[in-house]
Chains A and B, each alone.
Chain A
Amino acid sequence: MSTFTSTEREKFRLSMLLNDRRYRSYTFQFFALLVLICIISYLGKNLVENLAKAGLNISYGFLEDPAGYDINQRLIEYNSQSSHLRAAMVGILNTLLVAVLGCITATVLGVTAGILRLSNNWIVAKLMAIYVEIFRNVPILIWILIISSIFMGVLPQPRAFKGENPDATMLWDMFAFTGRGIYAPGPIFFEGSLVVVGTFVLSILSIIALRRHARRKLYSEGRVIKTGWWSIALFFIPTILIYYALGSPIGLEYPELKGFNFKGGIYARGSLISLWFALSIYTGAFIAEVVRAGIQSVDKGQTEAAAALGLRNNFIMNLVILPQALRVIIPPMISFYLNITKNSSLALAVGYMDITGTLGGITLNQTGRAIEAVLLLMLFYLVISLSISAVMNIYNRSIMLKER
Chain B
Amino acid sequence: MAENNASFVRHELIKEQVPPVSERGLVKWVRENLFSSPFNAIMTVLSLWVIYSIIAGSAPWFINGVWNASSVRECYDILDGVRGACFAVLKERFPQLIYGFKYPPTEYWRPNITTLLLLVALAPVLFRKLPRQLLAFSIIYPFLAYWLIWGGTILVPVVAFLGFAAGVYCFRRFSTNAFALGMIVGVIVASIFWLFGGYLSDANETFLSLQAVPSRDMGGLMLNLLLGTIACSVSIPLGIFLALGRQSSMPIIKWICVVFIEFIRGVPLITLLFVANVILAFFFPPDTSIDLILRVIIMMTFFNSAYIAEVVRGGLAALPSGQYEAANSLGLDYAQSMRLIILPQALKISIPGIVNVSVGMLKDTTLVSIISMFDLVGMIRGPILSTSEWNGVYWELFGCAAAIFFVVCFSISKYSQWLERQLETSNR
Contacts and interface: CB of A to CB of B under 8 A. Distances in A.
Contacts of A342: 267-269
Contacts of B34: 121-123
A36 B363 CA distance: 32
B310 to A, nearest CB: 10
B271 interface: yes
Interface string A135-147: 0111111110110
A1 B350 CA distance: 53
Interface stretch (B39-47, B59-67, B233-241): B39-47
A49 interface: yes
Contacts of B295: none
Contacts of B266: 381-382, 385-386
Nearest to B365: A139
A33 B409 contact: no
A385 B278 contact: no
Interface in A96-148: 119-124, 127, 133-134, 136-143, 145-146
Contacts of B410: 133, 137
Nearest to B310: A335
B370 interface: yes
A121 B265 contact: no
Contacts of A50: 281-283, 286
Contacts of B40: 119-121
Interface string A323-344: 0000000000000000000110
A381 B282 contact: no
B251 interface: yes
B318 interface: no
A134 B406 contact: yes
A374 B402 contact: no
Contacts of A127: 47, 50-51
B48 A123 contact: yes
Interface string B262-287: 11011111110011001101111110
Contacts of A32: 250, 252-253, 256
A28 B282 CA distance: 30
Contacts of A386: 262, 266
A23 B44 CA distance: 70
Interface in B12-44: 32-34, 36, 40, 43-44
A340 to B, nearest CB: 11
Contacts of A378: 267, 271
Interface string A367-390: 000110010011001100110000
B232 interface: no
B266 to A, nearest CB: 4
A345 B270 CA distance: 7
Nearest to A368: B278
Nearest to A146: B398
Given A127-B47, A137-B409, A139-B405, A381 B284 contact: no
A215 B115 CA distance: 64
A378 B43 CA distance: 46
A73 interface: no
Given A32-B253, A47-B283, A377-B271, A124 B47 contact: yes
A5 interface: no
A119 B285 CA distance: 60
A346 B401 contact: no
Contacts of B366: 139, 141-142
Given A28-B253, A121-B34, A127-B50, A138 B406 contact: yes
Nearest to A33: B252
Contacts of A53: 286
B135 interface: no
Given A33-B252, A142-B377, A345-B268, A47 B282 contact: yes
A46 B267 contact: no
Interface string B352-367: 0000000100011011
A356 interface: yes
Residue picked from B44, B47, B281, B285, most chain A C-beta under 10 Å? B47
Contacts of A51: 282
A318 to B, nearest CB: 18
B350 to A, nearest CB: 15
A33 B255 CA distance: 11
Q: Secondary structure at chain B's binding surface: helix, strand, loop or mixed?
A: helix
B270 A374 contact: no
Nearest to B364: A139
A99 to B, nearest CB: 11
Interface in B182-235: none
B267 A382 contact: yes
A371 B279 contact: yes
A346 to B, nearest CB: 7
B370 A142 contact: no
A28 B267 contact: no
B413 interface: yes
B427 interface: no
B4 interface: no
A385 B265 contact: yes
Contact of B405 (A36, A138, A145): A138
A46 to B, nearest CB: 5
Interface string B367-406: 1011000000100010000000000001100110110011
A297 B253 CA distance: 37
A394 B210 CA distance: 59
Interface of A: 25, 28-29, 32-33, 36, 43, 46-47, 49-51, 53, 119-124, 127, 133-134, 136-143, 145-146, 149, 153, 342-343, 345-346, 348-349, 356, 360, 364, 370-371, 374, 377-378, 381-382, 385-386
9 contacts: A29-B253, A49-B286, A121-B47, A136-B409, A137-B405, A138-B409, A141-B366, A345-B270, A382-B267
Given A120-B32, A141-B367, A142-B366, 18 more contacts: A47-B282, A120-B36, A123-B47, A127-B47, A137-B359, A138-B363, A138-B402, A141-B370, A145-B398, A149-B394, A149-B398, A356-B270, A360-B274, A364-B274, A370-B278, A374-B271, A374-B278, A382-B263
The 8 A-B residue pairs with the shortest CB-CB distance, nearest first, are A342-B268, A137-B409, A385-B266, A122-B33, A139-B363, A370-B278, A149-B394, A29-B252
